[in-house]
């Protein structure tokens, strides 16, 4: 019991740190990229949310922002980059193309990146306004603090399964 309380408190502390230190990997493929640059510019001061440092190596990032249209051909590359992110990794679908395929109703465009990787926050708009992006980041911060993102839930489930297996073996 005591160990569980200590573990929970440590996790809360780690999540508090995570929510104020996103290291973003921008996976930019299309016109939404202009809006990403705008958010990263001084006017919107994304540093207030601890998310101002883009990293161009997935191994140094824990937040993937998929910015723009993803075609079927790009799908495997997106998955490969996602698999290299530091754990626990978070994903934001930036704009309607990344979220749903947007107005591209054709065979070559993926109808939403959640067909390929798990998504924690969807930001609507074509393109989204910078204020919407900041709103999306704040929503992600809330989910991270509460441990409700896909990877945090998966990690907890795996830890529970491990403990159950150990108890069965004991």
Which residue's CB is nearer to ligand SF4, number 102 or number 112? 102
Supply the Cα-derived Rg of the chain in whole angstroms: 17
CA-CA distances (angstroms) from residue 46 to 30, 33, 93?
21, 16, 17
Identified binder of ligand SF4 from the candidate list 77, 126, 159, 160, rule CB under 6 A: 126
Which residue's CB is nearer to ligand SF4, number 35 or number 62? 35
Span from 70-78, 80-88, 92-100, 136-144 in contact with ligand SF4 (CB under 6 A):
92-100
Q: What would the DSSP string read from start to end of 47-74?
A: GGGT---B-SSGGG-SEEEEES--BTTT
27-86 positions binding ligand SF4, by CB under 6 A = 30-32, 68-69
Chain residues binding ligand SF4 by CB under 6 A are: 30-32, 68-69, 95-97, 102, 126-127
């Amino acid at each position: 019991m005591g160990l569980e309380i200590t573990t929970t408190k440590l996790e809360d502390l780690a999540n508090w740190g995570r929510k104020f230190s996103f290291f973003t990997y921008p996976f930019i493929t299309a016109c939404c990229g202009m809006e990403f640059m705008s958010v990263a510019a001084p006017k919107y001061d994304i540093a207030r949310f601890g998310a101002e440092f883009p990293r161009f190596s997935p191994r140094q990032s824990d937040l993937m922002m998929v910015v723009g249209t993803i075609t079927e051909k790009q799908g495997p590359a997106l998955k490969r980059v996602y698999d290299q992110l530091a754990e626990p990794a978070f994903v934001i679908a930036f704009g309607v193309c990344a979220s749903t395929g947007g107005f591209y109703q054709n065979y070559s465009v993926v109808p939403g990146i959640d067909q390929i990787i798990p998504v924690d926050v969807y930001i609507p708009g074509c393109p989204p306004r910078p204020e919407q992006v900041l709103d999306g980041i704040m929503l992600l911060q809330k989910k991270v603090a509460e441990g409700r993102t896909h990877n945090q839930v998966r990690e907890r489930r795996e830890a529970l399964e491990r403990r159950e297996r150990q108890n069965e073996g004991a």
